[in-house]
Amino acid sequence: MERDREFNEMVKFVSEMGISVNTNTKARGHQGFFMNGRIDISSVLDVQRKKEVLVHEFAHFVHTLVEPDVMRTHGTLERLFMTEYTDIIEQELLEITYSGGKIPALEKIFALKNAVNENIKGLDKKIKLKYPDFKRSEAYSPIEKVIKKTDAKYLLKYDRVKIKGVLGMQDKLFSVHDVEKNFPSFDSVIADYIRLKSQQRYLRRLSARAARLNKYFKRPSELFARFIEGLYINPQNIKAAAPNTYQRYFSLLNERHYPYLKEFSDLFFRL
């Protein structure tokens, strides 16, 4: 098949640069990664996506030749585009990253956050049926004073706890998923309160994860790789979204500022 042949040719080109290309791994839970002269591409991707990921990871390799310390510093737009006036370039690259296509990892987090928010709203509504003055933004004493008289108090901070048994007694394992089973004296509102606190913790973790990913996607190294990937997928869209970056990039490309990238793009990009 044509797509398979092109992918094999791309792998051959990259391999000739001294890079080991592996396509039968899970890529450490990502679609792909480049590190220490090695590119891994997830085996679960279809061949078209594998080509796009290979382009992306090859761009990371090229970046290491432009900025040898990029793996430590994450690179600079000044060095990538040989200008100190990078404000417009950065703005255009961010537009490509966040508007030129969805970021699967962030989309998954946003979907989870929406689901968790709905769960929190539902639990909040149920609790307010019995306690109209309840506010989920703060600890609610009438419920917590009941919980804190029992081992369920640990579930106000943790989703799952193990309490070591003493004097030969068996360890106790408690989970937010088994509140009614482990604490049958609690009414459903108390169990809902514990689950609500758990969901709020989960929401905070998701928000922190999204913040870390956003920081990652805004790194110059990642912005550059997504720009190159975009040029491979749809160069006209990239030219329209980032005209200044597009012009500056091709000027430097023709000057061989990006080692091996012109040869690679001449062979495989449809510019």
Q: Which domain, by its residues, includes 57?
A: 2-75+220-268
Q: What percent of the chain has pLDDT over 70?
A: 96
Count of the separate structural domains present in the chain: 2
Q: Are strands 20-25 and 172-175 parallel, antiparallel or unpaired?
A: unpaired
pLDDT at 241 over 90: yes
Regarding whether 201 and 122 lie in a shared domain, the answer is yes
Residue 7 in domain: yes
Q: How far is Cα of residue 75 from the mean position of the Cα atoms in its chain? A: 19
Q: What are phi and psi of 62, to 5 degrees?
A: -60, -40
Q: Give the model's confidence band at 235: pLDDT under 50 very low, under 70 low, under 90 confident, else very high.
A: very high
Residue 85 in domain: no
Q: What percent of the chain has pLDDT over 90?
A: 85
Regarding whether 114 and 211 lie in a shared domain, the answer is yes
Two tokens, residue 234: 């749809």
Return the closest-CA partner of residue 10 out of 263, 230, 264, 228. Answer: 264
Residue 81 in domain: no
Q: What is the mean pLDDT of residues 237-241?
A: 95
Regarding whether 207 and 123 lie in a shared domain, the answer is yes
Regarding whether 226 and 208 lie in a shared domain, the answer is no
Q: What is the mean pLDDT of residues 214-239?
A: 96
pLDDT recorded at residue 170: 83
Tens of pLDDT along 135-177?
999 999 999 999 999 999 999 999 999 988 777 678 889 999 9
pLDDT recorded at residue 167: 72
Regarding whether 227 and 206 lie in a shared domain, the answer is no
Residues 6+ apart with CB under 8 A from 27: 33, 40, 41, 42
Regarding whether 261 and 164 lie in a shared domain, the answer is no
DSSP string of 244-260, one letter each residue: HHHHHHHHHHHTT-STT
Residue 169 in domain: yes
Tens of pLDDT along 20-60?
999 887 756 578 999 989 999 998 899 999 999 999 999 99
Tens of pLDDT along 10-19?
999 999 999 9
pLDDT recorded at residue 25: 78
pLDDT recorded at residue 100: 56
Residue 17 in domain: yes
Regarding whether 169 and 144 lie in a shared domain, the answer is yes
Residue 71 in domain: yes
Return the closest-CA partner of residue 57 out of 85, 82, 38, 78. Answer: 38
Residue 92 in domain: no
Alpha-helical segments (H) within the chain: 2-15, 47-66, 70-73, 77-81, 87-99, 104-130, 141-147, 179-182, 188-217, 220-233, 235-241, 243-254, 261-268
Q: Give the model's confidence band at 102: pLDDT under 50 very low, under 70 low, under 90 confident, else very high.
A: low
Residue 98 in domain: no
Report which of residues 75 and 164 the model is more confident about: 75
| DSSP-derived 3-state class of residue 174 | strand
Regarding whether 134 and 68 lie in a shared domain, the answer is no
pLDDT recorded at residue 1: 44
